[in-house]
Structure 1
Amino acid sequence: MHLHRIQLKRIKSLAASIPRSLFHLRVQTRAFNVHHDTISLRLASRNYLRTRKFLLMFYNTGSVLVIFGMFTAVALLVWTMVSLLSSTFLRVTAPDTSASLLKRAVEVTTRATTYSRVTHAVNPIIPGLTVPLKHLPLILLSLCISQIMHESGHAITAAIHRIPMLAAGASMTFMFPAAFVTLPSARVEELSSLDRLRVVTSGCFHNLTLWLILLAAGWSGIGQRILLVGYEDVFTRGLIVAHVEADSPLSMHLPVGSFLTTLDDLPLHSSRDAWSTYLLEPNPAVYKQGWCVDVSRLNGEHGTCCCVDTDSSTSSSCFVSFESTIEEYCTDPVPILSKMQNRCDSSTSCLESQSCIKPREDRDILRITVNNEGAGTEDERIVLWSGPRYEVWEQVQTTHLAPRFGIIPLGLPLVFADFFQYLKLTNLSLYLFNSLPLPALDGSQLLIILLEIVFTKWSHTPSTMIDIEALRTRGSRSYERRVQQVLRTFVLIGTCTLLGSCVMLGIIEWMIV
């Protein structure tokens, strides 16, 4: 998808352009040209000589990192194509042994086993398919910020090399925003190969720099400290329900703002990632105690269980003795698991007519302890969930930050966290994607400069002198130009083929899932 383009062509009109189509809107302005010229004059003066030298070293480092990013991006494309080929082959040739299973069952069993070894280096972000549709505004906002950061790199390096900026602007294709700066191509071509390398790679380097800054900010926890100004960390008390999917059965039982204290018998304050770990990892349920139940209520005989049948019409579930898993029973789990009393460590803790039991490990029953007020155990109640635990993680969002003031939204930290992740991802994506040797991207200009440096051995001269020298050395340089053109065409076609193959295989894999 083409989201960015640097325009290095002369333009006749710098006024706001009239859109040719409703699907493509474009506006540009010369309001920033004066500020750009001011920065360029200051960097050329002796008072800012050290600043200019520092910026040259800074963007020299960026050029090296963007060259590395170009090779890395191509390697990721190759890896993605190979992984897509292998996964598509496995899906097409795998026997259809799960035709009678439900869709969720196929996702849990087949994907977790057959395709667990297949990983893709690149996964697309598609609102409504791979990410929630409600995240679309966050994605577009992060994309706008990332592209402004990208274009600022080209503007700054142009100012360093005394190249005027003709215009700056933004465009909208369908719903995807893009930014651009327009530079005079003749002035750019007059630069040496290294200077042009700085101008071309500075945009990707800015995206990489912002990504590294965001990584450092996340590692330092500065965002958490800022949020604590208006929020209180209630991790020691449990987690707060921040959002529940509207079509989820849990929406009636887990109101927004209620406290969740335990999952089964696991306290949620035991670790920061207890919620995700317990719901996503296929570990046995944690039961520190059992329940005392009258033996007369336990149907079935020792060593057997009525729940071996797959009949979903019955409300009974399998239980085992808390002391020995060999003893199995079958009974209705709701009257037992919904109570917080009658807990036991062994049958000796119960009455003579009772037995200490717990749910069998293969039963998909989850106990969620809820406290609507967030304080005291007298208001606690139990919500039972029957089904895979990961579905609770998908349908319920929790947070450990409670607003200090009533006017502050409860879900703001989650929105901030999502936006932070998308901002990191868009900057990393622009750094890698724009460094690819593809037409209309920075990578194509980067490829031209690299081939020029390799074949001319760093001896590129300004374009005003090339015409004079070409009259004398036309025979020796024509062969080099042909080799460069052949190599450039080969790399561009190869990269386009890789990208097209990844898109086509991704669509095929999505259709056969």
Structure 2
Amino acid sequence: MGIITPFSFALVLRSINAYTKQFQVNYKEKDNAMPLLHFSKSQPCKSSSSLKASYEDWLISHGLTVSPFHMRWQTSLFNHQFYNWGRWKPRFLYLWFSIGMIFGIAAMFGSVILLAKTLIQTLSQMLSEAPTGQNDQMLQVVVPGVNLPISQLSYFFIAILISGVIHEVGHGVAAIREQVRFNGFGIFIFIVYPGAFVDLFTTHLQLISPVQQLRIFCAGVWHNFVLGIASLVVLFLLPAILFPFYYTGAGALVTEVAEDSPANGPRGLFVGDLVSSLEDCSVQSVEDWNSCLTKISLMPQTGYCIKASVLQQLSYPSRARKAVEASQLCRTNMDCQKDFVPSLCVTPSLENQTRFLRVKHPPQPDMLFVGHLLHLQYTVSLSSFIPRHNFLSVDLPVVMETFCKYLISLSGALAVINAVPCFALDGQWILNSFLEATLSPMVVEKQNRELVGFLILLGGSALLAANVALGLWVVTAR
């Protein structure tokens, strides 16, 4: 999960780097003090030491830090831009980050309630004999290849990186607004997850008031929330944005058919086909396609009105296809009495969970599908956007739509998870500043306030860890 706070993670990294630099200095001092006797065979060691020192100097000069499972790059190139943002319209920024502070405090309490509710749902799902899906849970553990398609990993990582950058921009601009020195901005990769961080002058951060600290610490989750709302607005307005190039409401456009799909074949679906209906269920968008498949799966198998004179000829597959394509749908024989020619309602004899389905995609002949509807749903990709011109890509609206959904999901998750009062997350610093601002008149001893904060952080960390552990078990074990 890309839900480790880059901001608080950077504070830990700075202390690690300071220790590393001290270790390197001591090592070099010892190395220079050691040799009193020189041997010709020691020359390769000097070359190796010199090469290592040159490599370390090159990394430092370029702002790079490399360690096991972690790589980061820090620069001051963007400092001028950050200071321009932090000094732009001071009254507006004061109001903006004050609203963010209120949101961050509310999110801290709300995240605990949400995690507690999610934990109860997960436990009830684990203990139930017939476990249900996790679709009703707002927070889910994401495992690539299990509940995250490998083909969509690029969306996932890019959305995490953008969400992390926006998160850190919030911290940086808020810090400059509160007169905290801004040292630099950077990007890191932890194992495979990308993120960002800002380097702030810790002494300045400790000298300002708790309310000012809250504006800085809450700015990250506030900006993630705003990014999620902005992505939601873009997703909602996407048909209007793409209207000059694409239109909607005329069907579901096929954009991809998997090689192992039951819809793949000479009488199946092809890229560019426009699906208009599934049986008697009209399809005008991808949402209609999914709802129709769900509706059909919950209802008994549909029958077809077949003339009595044709019924005896249906042992030939070609004639069976023609008879089905030309017939109307029915549930009972009474539905077939509208014609003057005697007809019977014939229902295909199928196994459990298997469906016979007629898919209309004019001007092509109907596709007759036999199999599990989920297999059809997961192996055919569709879009609600139909290009007005042949040179337009059928994939562009899908890419934009999918990316907006990932931004909404991941940026929202960062806002919620980072607000949890948990060690190493923004919630830790939000809680500490909140307790300093509210408990100081009642709890005079700072040590007692720190004890209260520690106990709350311990509970929040345990709650988050339990959600992650049980969520992983549910996703991977079921």
TM-score (norm 2): 0.79
Distance in 2 between residues matched to 1:496 and 1:436, nearest whole Å: 8
Pair 67,343 (structure 1): closer, same or farther in 2 beyond 3 Å: closer
* Counterpart AA for 1:425: S
Residue 119 (structure 2) pairs with residue 86 (structure 1): no
Percent identity for Structure 1 against Structure 2? 24
What stretches of structure 2 of length at least 5 have no aligned partner?
22-59, 330-334
Return the match for 2:78 from 13, 16, 32: 32
Q: 1:392: which partner in 2? A: 376
Contact 2:278/2:357 (CA < 8 Å) preserved in 1?
yes
Pair 445,336 (structure 1): closer, same or farther in 2 beyond 3 Å: same
Q: How many residues align?
A: 422
Q: 1:107: which partner in 2? A: none
Return the match for 2:110 from 68, 72, 78: 72
Q: 1:488: which partner in 2? A: 453
Pair 286,19 (structure 1): closer, same or farther in 2 beyond 3 Å: same
Corresponding residue SS for 1:20: strand
Residue 404 (structure 2) pairs with residue 420 (structure 1): yes
Pair 31,338 (structure 1): closer, same or farther in 2 beyond 3 Å: farther
Q: CA deviation at 1:25?
A: 1.2
Q: 1:3: which partner in 2? A: 4
Q: 2:339: which partner in 1? A: 349
Deviations 1:208-229 (A, max 9, x none): 112222233334x2x2222223
Q: 2:242: which partner in 1? A: 227
Residue 96 (structure 2) pairs with residue 58 (structure 1): yes
Contact 2:303/2:345 (CA < 8 Å) preserved in 1?
no
* Counterpart AA for 1:449: S
Q: 1:210: which partner in 2? A: 227
Deviations 1:105-162 (A, max 9, x none): xxxxx55xxx379953421222211121111101111111111111111121122122
Residue 466 (structure 2) pairs with residue 501 (structure 1): yes
Q: CA deviation at 1:186?
A: 0.6
Q: 1:149: which partner in 2? A: 166
Deviations 1:453-504 (A, max 9, x none): 122249xxxxxxxxxxxxxxxxx95xx2221122122112112211222222
Which stretch of the first structure deviates more once superposed, 445-454 or 286-295?
286-295
Q: 1:364: which partner in 2? A: 355
Which stretch of the first structure deviates more once superposed, 162-171 or 501-510?
501-510
Return the match for 1:450 from 423, 429, 434: 434
Pair 159,348 (structure 1): closer, same or farther in 2 beyond 3 Å: closer
Distance in 2 between residues matched to 1:418 and 1:334, nearest whole Å: 42
TM-score (norm 1): 0.74
Q: CA deviation at 1:68?
A: 0.8
Q: CA deviation at 1:263?
A: 0.9
* Counterpart AA for 2:104: V
Contact 1:364/1:386 (CA < 8 Å) preserved in 2?
yes
Corresponding residue SS for 2:326: coil
Corresponding residue SS for 1:340: helix
Q: 2:292: which partner in 1? A: 278
Distance in 1 between residues matched to 2:364 and 2:301, nearest whole Å: 19
Corresponding residue SS for 1:247: coil
Q: 2:276: which partner in 1? A: 261
Contact 1:36/1:164 (CA < 8 Å) preserved in 2?
no
Distance in 2 between residues matched to 1:367 and 1:412, nearest whole Å: 29
When you count helix as a share of all residues, which structure comes out higher?
A: 2
Deviations 1:193-237 (A, max 9, x none): 111110111111111112222233334x2x22222233243x33x
Contact 1:244/1:250 (CA < 8 Å) preserved in 2?
yes
Residue 184 (structure 2) pairs with residue 184 (structure 1): no
Corresponding residue SS for 2:4: coil
Residue 260 (structure 2) pairs with residue 247 (structure 1): yes
Deviations 1:299-351 (A, max 9, x none): 9xxxxxxxxxxxxxxxx9xxxxxxxxxxxxxx989815764225596346264
Distance in 2 between residues matched to 1:39 and 1:384, nearest whole Å: 60
Pair 405,366 (structure 1): closer, same or farther in 2 beyond 3 Å: same
Q: CA deviation at 1:356?
A: 4.9
Distance in 1 between residues matched to 2:338 and 2:92, nearest whole Å: 77
What stretches of structure 1 of length at least 5 have no aligned partner?
44-50, 95-109, 300-315, 317-330, 372-378, 459-475
